[in-house]
Chains A and B, each alone.
Chain A
Amino acid sequence: MVTTRLVQTVVAVVALAVISGVYLKAGGRLISGMPTRLRGVAAATVWVGPAVLIVAIVLVGPALSTLRLSLFDGDGDEFVGAENYTTAAGNDEILISLRNSVLWVVSLPVLSVAVGLAMAVLADRVRYESVVKSVLFLPVAISAVAAGVIWRFMLDYRPPGAPQTGTLNAIVTAIPGVTPVAWLVDRTTNNVALIGATLWTQAGFAMVILSAGLRSIPGELSEAARLDGASEWQLFRRIKLPLLAPTIVVVMTTMAVIALKAFDIVYVMTNGAYDTDVLATSMYKQLFSDRHQGRASAIATILMLAVTPIMVYNVRVYRREAVGR
C-alpha cells in the first residue's frame, strides 16, 4: 500500500517535470515560429496562460459557484433570489457577526500599526536590537490555535476569592478592591480580548515591515532635519512618518484582510459565544451546524465583497510603487 503510493508520487513528480520541460520547449518553438507582430500576444498566452487557467479553476470557479449558491435554498436545489441576503439582514446572530467584523477591521489595522511602529522605533534604540526584534517577532510563528489556547489561559476567570490562575486576573485582583473580570464572557471586553490576542500574533509582523520602512529612510534626511532645528518628535512627525506612509498603508490593508478572515482565534477562544461571532465563524456555523449552504454562501459573498476593494487598492499602491522605482 505504502509502496504503491510512493511509486505513484515519484511517477507524478517525474511526469510533472517532463511535461513542464516539454511545454517550455514546445512553447518556445511555437512563439519563435510566429510572425513578429503576433509574438507578443503568443508569448503572453503561452507563458501566463497556464497560471491563469489554474487560478480560474481553483479561485474564480468556486467564487462564482458560491455566488450562485447564495441565491439558492439550504440544499442548493431551489432558486430563492435574494432571500438569503434578506434573511441575513434580519438575523440577529449574523448582524452581530457583521458588527464584530467591522470592529475587527477598524481596530486591528490601527492597533497593529500603532503597536508595531512603537516597537520598531523603540527596538531600534536598544543595544541588542536583533535579539529584541526576534523575541517580539516570535508570536508570528505561533499557530493561531496555539495562540488562542495561550490567551485563554491568560484570560482565565475564577470566582472572587478563589486563586486566580489567569495571568490578567491575577494582576487585576492584586489591586485592592478589584474583582476578577470574566474577560471572554463580559460583552464589553470579550471582542476586545479576541482582537488583542490576534494583535499579539500580528504586531511582530507589522514591526518587521515598518522597521524595514524606517531603515529605508536615508540617515542624512534625519541629520538634515536635526540641523534644521527639529526635535526628535518633530523629526518623526514631519519627516519619518510621511515617508513611511506607503509602508503603513501596506500594513493596514494586510491587517484589514486578516481581520476580515479572522476565524481560528475566535473558534478556539469563545467559539462565537456571548456575541463574539465574526463573519467567518458565522459562515462556518451556517454551513456545518445549520447545514444551510445558501446563507453560508451569502455570508461568504459579503466577505468577498468587503475584501475586494482593499485588495484592489493594495494592487494599485503596489503598481504605483513599482513604477516609481
Chain B
Amino acid sequence: MATVSFADASRIYPDTDAPAVDSLDLDIADGEFLVLVGPSGCGKSTTLRMLAGLEPVDGGSVFIGERDVTNVPAKDRDIAMVFQSYALYPHMTVADNIGFHLRIKRVPKQERAKRVHEAASLLGLEDYLDRKPAKLSGGQRQRVAMGRAIVRQPLAFLMDEPLSNLDAKLRVQTRTQIAALQRRLGVTTVYVTHDQVEAMTMGDRVAVLDKGILQQCDTPRELFARPVNLFVAGFIGSPAMNLFPATVNEQGATFEDLTVPLTPSQRRELSADQVRIGVRPDGWEVGSGDGSASSLEATVEVVEELGTEAFVYAITERQTPVVTRAEGMTTIDKGDKISLVPKVESLHLFDETTGARLIA
C-alpha cells in the first residue's frame, strides 16, 4: 500500500496539439479511494494508464510511494488493474486467471492455491474456479477481474470503468461491494468513471477532469456544495444545476424577474458585468405563480414522478428551461404556472468569462 502522486504530469499524443493530460498535480493518500471523473475525452483514462505504465509520461513525474515510477515499465510497478473489458485470459480457468501473477512471481504452488481460494471466497467465486471465462456471466467475469487484482496485495488498485459492462441493477450492487471491499482491504484505489453518480457514491475524494485539466479534487460533499467553476457545477449533480446568464446592476445580478444580490467581495472579483446564477433543482421554493418581486415565473412542461420525489421540468417566460425538485406524489401538473424562489443557501454565482466561482 502506498500513496500515489502526479507531479506536473502531462501526456501529449503524437500528431495532436492539445495535451490529453495537461500538467496534472494530484496527491492521493495511502488507502484512499479516489475517483477520476469527467466526460469522454477528458483524459481520465489516460491519467490512469500513465499511472499503470501503459502510457508514456511526456512531462512531469508519477510517484508510487516514495518511488519515482515515471520511467518504470508496467510489469515492475506492482499495481493491479481492472479493465473495462475485464481482459480475462480466455484460455485459462478462473483459478489460473486469478493466480497468473503469483505464477509469474514463482509463488509455490500450495501458497498460490491458498491465496487464490482466499480471493475467490471473498468474491463468492469458489464454485467457478475450474471454469473458463467464456462460461461465466458478465457479473462473474467482473468478479474474476477483481479477484485477479486483490490476490496480489498490490501497492494500488487501478480500475478503468469496471462496471460499465454490467446491467443497471448489478451495477448498483457491485458499486457498493467494490467500495466495501476497498475499505476492508485498505488498498489505495484510483477509479475511472464517466458516471458522476458512481463517482459521488464511491469516492473518498473525486477529481473532476475536463479537456485534460484537473478542475477540482474534493470530497463528494464539497464538490456538490461548492463547485469551483461552471464546468464542475454543470457536471456534478443529477439532474444538472440550473445555470442562468445574468446581468450585473445596482441591485445585484438579474435574470428575467430574478435578482440575486452580490456581496462587495463578489463585485470585486468580477471580470465583466456578466455572471451565471446557479441553482440546484432542490434549491427552489415552489409557489403557485403569485408574481412576487424576485422569483422566476415558469410554465410546467413535464413532471418526472419518481415516487419519493419528483422532478418538474418547466420553461420560463423567455423560453429558458428550468428544473426543480418537488415532493413525491406532487400536485403540480403539466401546464401549471409556478413561481420559483431560490433558497439563499443554495445560490451559486459564477463569473461568465472565467467560469470561476464568486465566493461570498
Q: Is B89's CB within 8 Å of the partner chain A?
A: yes
Which residues of chain A come closer than 8 Å to B89, judged between CB atoms? Answer: 221, 224-225, 239
Q: Is A258's CB within 8 Å of the partner chain B?
A: no
Q: Is B171's CB within 8 Å of the partner chain A?
A: no
Q: Is the CB of B79 within 8 A of A230?
A: no
Count A-B pairs with CB separation below 8 Å.
Answer: 58
Q: Is A316's CB within 8 Å of the partner chain B?
A: no
Report how far A319 CA is from B198 CA in the complex, Å.
Answer: 44
Q: Is the CB of A218 within 8 A of B91?
A: no
Q: Is the CB of A218 within 8 A of B85?
A: yes
B127 nearest CB across to chain A (Å): 24
Please tell me the number of chain B residues within 8 Å of chain A, measured between CB atoms: 24
* Beta-carbon nearest neighbor of B158 in chain A: A227
Q: Is A242's CB within 8 Å of the partner chain B?
A: yes
Within 8 A of A (CB), among B43-61: 52-54
Which residues of chain A come closer than 8 Å to B80, judged between CB atoms? Answer: 227-228
Binding site for A on B (CB under 8 A): 52-54, 73-81, 83, 85, 87, 89-91, 100-101, 104-105, 148, 152
Q: Is A229's CB within 8 Å of the partner chain B?
A: yes
Report how far A231 CA is from B148 CA in the complex, Å.
Answer: 18
Report how far A227 CA is from B81 CA in the complex, Å.
Answer: 7
- Taking a contact as CB atoms closer than 8 A, the residue among B74, B91, B148 that contacts A242 in the complex is B91
Q: Is the CB of B83 within 8 A of A228?
A: no
- Taking a contact as CB atoms closer than 8 A, the residue among A227, A230, A243 that contacts B91 in the complex is A243
Q: Is A234's CB within 8 Å of the partner chain B?
A: yes
**24 A-B residue pairings within 8 Å (CB atoms):** A220-B83, A220-B85, A221-B87, A223-B54, A223-B83, A224-B83, A224-B148, A225-B89, A226-B53, A226-B73, A227-B52, A227-B77, A227-B81, A228-B75, A228-B101, A228-B104, A228-B148, A228-B152, A229-B76, A229-B101, A229-B104, A231-B75, A238-B100, A243-B91
Range for the number of chain A residues in contact with chain B: 10 to 19
Asked whether A226 and B75 contact (CB < 8 A) given A242-B91, A243-B90, the answer is: yes
Within 8 A of B (CB), among A193-245: 218, 220-221, 223-231, 234, 238-239, 242-243
Within 8 A of B (CB), among A285-323: none
Which residues of chain A come closer than 8 Å to B53, judged between CB atoms? Answer: 226-227
Report how far A229 CA is from B107 CA in the complex, Å.
Answer: 13
Q: Is the CB of B91 within 8 A of A223?
A: no
Report how far A230 CA is from B83 CA in the complex, Å.
Answer: 17
Which residues of chain A come closer than 8 Å to B75, judged between CB atoms? Answer: 226-231
Which residues of chain B come closer than 8 Å to A220, judged between CB atoms? Answer: 83, 85, 87
Which residues of chain A come closer than 8 Å to B52, judged between CB atoms? Answer: 223, 227
Which residues of chain B come closer than 8 Å to A224, judged between CB atoms? Answer: 81, 83, 87, 89, 148
Report how far A225 CA is from B54 CA in the complex, Å.
Answer: 11
| A-B contacts besides A227-B53, A228-B101, A238-B100, 12 pairs, CB < 8 Å | A218-B87, A223-B54, A223-B81, A223-B83, A224-B81, A224-B148, A226-B53, A226-B75, A227-B74, A228-B75, A230-B100, A243-B91
Which residues of chain A come closer than 8 Å to B152, judged between CB atoms? Answer: 228
User: What are the 3 A-B residue pairs with the smallest beta carbon separation, nearest first?
Assistant: A220-B87, A224-B87, A228-B101
Within 8 A of B (CB), among A235-264: 238-239, 242-243
Report how far A224 CA is from B53 CA in the complex, Å.
Answer: 11
Within 8 A of B (CB), among A37-78: none
* Beta-carbon nearest neighbor of A239 in chain B: B89
* Beta-carbon nearest neighbor of A241 in chain B: B91
A81 nearest CB across to chain B (Å): 51
Q: Is the CB of B101 within 8 A of A223?
A: no
Asked whether A225 and B100 contact (CB < 8 A) given A220-B85, A230-B75, A231-B75, the answer is: yes
B97 nearest CB across to chain A (Å): 9
B30 nearest CB across to chain A (Å): 20
